[in-house]
Amino acid sequence: MRQVHEALSTQRDLAYTTVMTVLQRLAKKNLVVQHRDDRAHRYAPTHGRDELVAGLMVDALDQAADSGSREAALVHFVERVGADEAEALRRALAELENKHRPGDKTPHKTHSQPASGSTTG
């Protein structure tokens, strides 16, 4: 807990109790997990950075779906990625296609993650 407070305090003046409250709220939302060592509280993220970013992207697509522009949002996203990222997308799509060929009874896996808050720990 003290390490988190010290790290955040280099950027802006925050009360120790404010940081403690935010971390407790993040724990209730399952964005961080709390470990107790004697009197100290230690926090760790429940999701890696990649998972969190993917969750944010899915949330953004879901918001676009509400306005009927999910496909347009995907097209704009793809137009902004570089060659390496485009190749990674192609590989991921090919893997997904191979996993779920016609006749495959395996359910599709979704990657919805909580997307609010920071996982600083």
Residue whose C-alpha is closest to residue 111's, from 31, 50, 45: 50
- The pTM of the whole model exceeds 0.75: no
Is residue 41 located within the same domain as residue 6?
yes
**Alpha-carbon span 75 to 79, nearest angstrom:** 6
Radius of gyration of the chain (CA): 19
Phi (first) and psi of residue 11, to 5 degrees:
-95, -35
- Determine the structural domain holding residue 89 and report its residue range: 49-99
Residues 33 and 54 in one domain: no
Domain membership of residue 61 (yes or no) is yes
> How many structural domains comprise the chain?
2
pLDDT in tens, 6-62: 888 888 888 999 999 999 999 999 999 988 888 888 889 999 999 989 999 998 888
The answer to whether position 18 is within a domain reads yes
Alpha carbon distances (Å) from 86 to 9, 60, 89, 115:
38, 19, 5, 24
